[in-house]
Amino acid sequence: MFEYLTPRSLATPQEVIEYLELHQAAQEFRLELEHRDHLEAYCQWYHQTAQSNRQDLEQMRTELNLLAWFNGRKV
């Protein structure tokens, strides 16, 4: 009934090695997923910012350039 409470025999060195390798692989996988998520979020931010900057540039091109007018250049 309470077998799970009795101490289990110690793991063999091979079992310990396998456990550590599995744990390391799981950690590397998790870190890779986090890296990809952060990269995806950065790429989305970058594209949104670039689109906003393109829109601002187009708006600036249609506005009157007062500085050029004061300097006597063609507008």
> For position 56, what pLDDT does the model report?
95
d(CA 33, CA 35): 5
CA 24 to chain centre: 21
> For position 68, what pLDDT does the model report?
74
Which pTM value belongs to this model? Answer: 0.62
> For position 17, what pLDDT does the model report?
94
Tokens 């998790």, residue located: 30
List pLDDT tens digits, range 17-59: 999 999 999 999 999 999 999 999 999 999 999 999 999 999 9
- Residue 27 tokens read as 């950690």
Residue type at 29?
F
Confidence of residue 9 (pLDDT cuts 50, 70, 90): confident
